[in-house]
Amino acid sequence: MPNQQPPATGKYIDPLVDFAFKKIFGSEPNKDLLIAFLNEVFRGRKVIADLVYSKNEQHGDLKDEGAAIFDLQCTGDKGEQFIIEIQRGRQGFFKERALFYTSRLISNQAPKGKRSQWAYDLTEVYLIALLEDFTSAAGPYPKYVHDVYLCDRDTGEIFYEKLGFTYIELSKFVKTESELGTELDKWLYVLKNMSKIGKIPVYLRKPIFEKLFNIAEYANFTKEERDMYDSSLKYKWDNKNVLDYALKEGIEQGIERGIEKGIEQGIEKGIEQGIEKGKLEEALAIARELKKEGLAIDFIAKTTKLSIETIEKL
């Protein structure tokens, strides 16, 4: 297996490491950072004036490694209430996970009694996801921010406006500093490149970004926080090594068979096998999460396509 070590820690941490993401965006004193980022993601469709973290959230620890998820109760600038779930975690079965989590947020709004009086007066629900390796379409494609709503298949007319999915494909965001045109571009550039930056660029000399960089400075961490960040970084890179190895092994096996069946067919088969091994790792990880939440084994099996026997052994 490849023995790639995590990169040496620079002046600033990698915000996309789970512990770092939770530390920066997952606490009440730093909610102005999250509000500023989310307002750029909504691009004027919603303006968040305030937000409250769900009481069930646990931020800044390693208990739920690999699943940085915040449930947010938000208040708009016109007083409207809405719910946002923000994810930055494993991307296996992303669409299924997005539907599962938003459905839970919707169903949790139902009162235990007097449902007829409630009249299904649902609060708006949005899911925002930062995806590092999920790709919605094969090949190069410049669109990296996707806004998804329920709509009519033929006309494209929106059927229901109070449920939305916004996902950002970070792998497709490849802009350089000179190409940054919007505030969202600046946020995404910082999230992808902060750990490689030695000092705050002039174009980011704004109070909100200065606070972000100050929080993300490794030297400002306590010893315990440094240990937790280092562990989280190692966890991320260990997972990457596993997936890279699975892909590499599949390609090599395919190439061996390709000597007899044709090199091109062999490479395609090898890549396919490598991807399948990576999917298996993701499916097992998701099954563990769902089982931890107490969901039925049959439901987990249908969702992840794993056998009941495999899930029971987890």
Task: Give all strands of the β-sheet with 48-53 in edge-to-edge order.
Answer: 48-53, 67-76, 81-89, 124-131, 158-169, 145-151
DSSP 8-state code for residue 17: S
Q: State which residues of the chain have pLDDT below 70.
A: 1-8, 55-68, 89-92, 134-141, 237-279, 293
**Which long-range CB contacts under 8 A does 103-109 form with residues at least 24 apart?**
105/71, 106/163
| Total length of the chain | 314
Q: Give φ, ψ of 100 to 5 degrees.
A: -60, -50
Q: What is the pLDDT of residue 268?
A: 56
Give percent of the chain with pLDDT exceeding 70: 75
Q: What is the pLDDT of residue 62?
A: 40
What is the Cα–Cα distance from 85 to 65, expressed in whole angstroms?
Answer: 17
Domain spans in the chain, listed from the N-terminal domain onward: 18-220, 227-313
Q: What is the pLDDT of residue 60?
A: 39
Q: What is the pLDDT of residue 61?
A: 40
Check if the beta carbon of residue 278 is closer than 8 Å to that of residue 246. Answer: yes
Check if the beta carbon of residue 189 is closer than 8 Å to that of residue 180. Answer: yes
- The structure tokens listed for 203 are 């174009």
Q: What is the pLDDT of residue 176?
A: 92
Give the torsion through C-alpha atoms of 155, 161, 165, 170, to 10 deg: 80
Distance of CA 44 to the CA centre of its chain: 22
Give the pLDDT confidence of 74-87 residue by residue, as tens digits: 999 999 999 998 88
Check if the beta carbon of residue 37 is closer than 8 Å to that of residue 182. Answer: no
Q: What is the pLDDT of residue 63?
A: 42
Strands 124-131 and 81-89: what pairing? parallel
